[in-house]
């Protein structure tokens, strides 16, 4: 992370806006059915695993690439645009 990035990151946490953006993203992912799709991916991954020993790490490694690819472009675009506008309109202190 560069210095500017770190400052932006800290600001987002401090103002609570990071939490707000996270909540917005969470909503969009639920609305478009992404969460349900990922849930199904996880179930499949657990079923395919031999034996009983599924850890979160194995699940994350298996599911993440496909889950990322499933995020609709519209959601990515909306978030990107909103975060960008938001950061650019923040008044300098």
Partner 1 sequence: MNDMNGCIHLNNFKAAKGVNPYKVVHAFFVACTSQEARMYKATACLCFVCSQPGPRLHSCLHCIYFGCYEGHMQEHSKTKKHFLYIDLNHGNVFCAQCQDYIYDQELADIATRNRLKGAKSLGLSAPFMSWVPNANEAAALRRLRKRRMISPNTTIGLRGLQNLGSTCFMNCIVQTLIHTPLLRDYFLGERHKCKPSGAGKCLVCEVSKLFQEFYSGAKTPLTLHRLLHLIWTHARHLAGYEQQDAHEFFIATLDVLHRHCMNGLEDVEKKENGRCNCIIDQIFTGGLQSDVVCTCCSGVSTTIDPFWDISLDVAGPGSLQACLERFTRAEHLGSGAKIKCSNCRAYRESTKQLTLETLPIVASFHLKRFEHSEQIDRKISTFVSFPAELDMTPFMSSHRRAVDTADNNNGPEGVFEDNRYSLFAVVNHLGSLDAGHYTAYVRQMKGSWFKCDDHMITRADLAEVLDSEGYLLFYHKTVLEYECDV
Provide the binding-site residues for partner 1, judged by CB under 8 A: 1, 6, 9-11, 13-17, 19-21, 23-24, 27, 31, 52, 54-57, 82, 85-86, 89
Phi/psi of residue 81, nearest 5 degrees: -65, -40
Cβ atoms of residues 66 and 41 within 8 Å:
yes
Q: Tell which residue, 29, 30, 9, has the closest CA to residue 19.
A: 9
| Gap between the Cα atoms of 78 and 43, Å rounded | 29
> Residue 20 Cβ, how far from partner 1 at the closest point, in Å?
5
Least separation in angstroms between residue 91's CB and partner 1 is 11
Nearest approach, Cβ of residue 54 and partner 1 (Å): 7
> In terms of CB distance, is 13 or 40 closer to partner 1?
13
């Amino acid at each position: 992370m560069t210095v500017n990035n770190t400052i932006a990151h800290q600001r987002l946490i401090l103002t609570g806006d990071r939490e707000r953006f996270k909540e917005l993203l969470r909503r969009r992912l639920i609305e478009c059915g992404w969460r349900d799709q990922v849930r199904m991916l996880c179930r499949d991954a657990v079923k395919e695993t031999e034996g009983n020993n599924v850890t979160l790490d194995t699940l994350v490694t298996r599911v993440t690439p496909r889950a990322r690819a499933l995020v609709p472009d519209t959601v990515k675009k909306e978030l990107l645009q909103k975060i960008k506008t938001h950061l650019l309109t923040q008044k300098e202190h």
